[in-house]
Structure 1
Amino acid sequence: MTDNVDGAQALSTFSLDGDDLPFQAGETLLQAATRAGRYIPHLCWHPDFAAHGSCRICSVKVNGRVGAACSVFAAEGQVVESNTDEMNRQRKTLLQMLFVEGNHFCPSCEKSGNCLLQATAYQMGMEGPHFEEFYPSRPVDASHPDILLDLNRCILCELCVRASREVDGKNIFAIGGHGIDTHLLVNSASGQLGDTAMSLEDRAAHICPVGAILPKRRGFVIPIGQRRFDAKPVSQQVEGAPE
């Protein structure tokens, strides 16, 4: 903070793609940018939870060094580069890797049009997977009477893990394995969602940014043209952005 000529305190600022943005003490670059209505692509970050930093889609250059905007704290005088050809190429590559690592076939997914992964891929100009697809063998858990769990679409953002633990107080989910074998776990003796206390009213049932956790008997109820990202691309849906 600095004092201006009238004696009032002025907010500290950092530069984002050439524009000065104000920030509050303790804010990360992504928090400050979002509050100012500026889009920095992200998947695993959610404003209601602490930064996770796993997807790296929000990576930016800070004074010439790459860091995750969700976890790097804003500081006076920082020079941050986000919407550049270099950073967008990196994001596009990461998105292509996410698409081939799982089984993402958007036309058959109920989340199409409301999926953050799909919307971010469109935003980054991704036209195909580029890499050879893995086609992993992942189960679809339909054991719960109200909720479908399709691990083919999971991107390991851990939002359901955090929501179940921090909001619902149930610890339904966890992450297990290492490297390419990392996967979402269901905390029940059988490993089935139907043997847990998860409810359709839980925050964890609705926070998934992709189509891994879906309510049953509600598929494709939103017509094409009325879905979240049909009206506006993800870059125009930042909180605080001008209409």
Structure 2
Amino acid sequence: MSISLTVDGIPVTVEEGATVAEAATAAGVYVPTLCFHDDHPPLGTCRVCTARVDGRLVAACTTVAPDGAVVEVATEEVAALRRQVVGLLFAEGNHVCPSCEKSGRCDLQAVAAETGMLASEFPYRYPRRETDPGDARLWLARDRCILCQRCVELVRDDAGQPVFTLSGRGPGARVELDHERADGLSEEQVDAAVDLCPVGAILRKGVGYDDPMGARRYDTASIRERALRGEPR
């Protein structure tokens, strides 16, 4: 069964059960995301995908699109709210893009550019967070972690057990790495865990700045272009 709605004034028809983010994509309207990852259930943790549905602010990646809804994504008020969310993520961590191994392929960096967040309006906290040397192949740089929980929810070993967990609450929350389970991951699983992180918090040891400028993920196509084409982020 199909439903009809409008996204930024554009009529669109989608299958019943589609999310607001999916409806927006079908209408050709870009909705930025950080915790969401293609081919995985939405998490709804980062709120970077905030949109307005019939006057109510929602997380577009987890909210099912209602029939006949009026969805606002690109209005200045909603766009400003998303810029503030992105600005908070920068202010709460240590994101020095020019010196980061993931520059040019970092989702947070790319979303900041797309949303127009050139400098956070909030005071930078410059937190001092303990790094985790990980196993022989993985390094956990917690000062860059945005607590999107992709790794916590989506990275599993062959037995289906989580490799990453979340400890603490509020400002004390942090991602933990199970060294024993990480050591049992295949090389492909390690690469997948590194690529799954939207920032430079999960890194492979001994590898850095391996993609030359001009050939990095978001050098060749913006995160908006990749998302609207349905390409992996």
Matched residues in 2 for 1:238 and 1:19: separation?
18
User: What secondary structure is seen at the aligned counterpart in 1 of 2:227?
Assistant: coil
How far residue 193 of structure 1 moved from its aligned partner, in angstroms, is: 7.1
1:183 correspondence with 2:174: yes
Is the 2:157–2:184 Cα contact (8 Å) retained in structure 1?
A: no
Task: Report the CA distance between 1:199 and its aligned residue.
Answer: 4.1
> Using a 3 Å threshold, how does the CA distance of structure 1 residues 125 and 108 change in structure 2: closer, same or farther?
same
Q: How many corresponding residue pairs?
A: 229
1:233 paired with 2:222, answer yes
| Aligned: 1:48 with 2:35 | no
CA 141–186 in structure 1, closer or farther in 2 if over 3 Å, else same: same
Aligned to 1:139: 130
TM-score normalised to the size of structure 1? 0.86
Q: Identity across aligned pairs (percent)? A: 39
Which position in structure 1 is the counterpart of 2:88? 97
Judging by fraction of residues, say which structure has more helix: 2
Match of 1:211 in 2: 200
Q: What is the match of residue 201 of structure 1?
A: 188
1:186 and 1:171 map into 2 onto residues whose CA distance is 9
| CA offset digits 1:26-77 (Å, max 9, x no partner) | 2111123335543101111112222211111111100011111011101211
Structure 2 residue 141 is the aligned partner of structure 1 residue 150: yes
Q: Is the 8 A contact 1:140 1:152 kept in 2?
A: yes
For structure 1, the 5+ residue unaligned runs are 2-10
Using structure 2 for the length normalisation, give the TM-score.
0.89
2:211 maps to which residue?
A: 222
- Aligned partner of 1:47: which letter? D
Greater mean deviation of Cα atoms: 26-35 or 146-155: 26-35
Alpha-carbon displacement from aligned partner over 1:113-171 (angstroms, at most 9, x marks no partner): 10010001011111212222111111222242212211111111111112224987231
- RMSD of aligned alpha carbons: 2.3
Whole-angstrom CA distance in 2 between matches of 1:12 and 1:103: 43
| Amino acid of the structure 2 residue aligned with 1:226 | A
CA contact (8 A) 1:15 1:77 kept: yes
Question: 1 CA distance for matches of 2:155 and 2:89?
Answer: 24
Larger Rg: 1
State which of 119, 122, 146 in structure 1 corresponds to 2:113: 122
Distance 1:111 1:195 in 2: 21
Task: Tell me what 2:72 maps to.
Answer: 81
Distance 1:124 1:92 in 2: 6
**Does 2:156 correspond to 1:159?**
no
Q: Kindly report which structure 2 residues correspond to 1:63-74, keeping only aligned pairs within 5 A, or say none.
A: 63-74=54-65
Matches of 1:28 and 1:124, distance apart in 2: 21
Alpha-carbon distance in 2 for matches of 1:173, 1:197: 13
Residue identity opposite 1:200 in structure 2: E
Change (3 A) 1:222 1:193: farther
1:198–1:102: structure 2 CA closer, same or farther, 3 Å change rule?
farther
What is the alpha-carbon distance in structure 2 between the residues aligned to residue 50 and residue 195 of structure 1?
Answer: 23
3-state SS, counterpart of residue 184 of structure 2: coil
SS at match of 2:187: coil
Runs of 4+ in 1 over 4 A off after TM superposition: 192-196
Q: 2 CA distance for matches of 1:224 and 1:193?
A: 35
The CA distance in 2 between the partners of 1:91 and 1:176, in whole Å, is 27
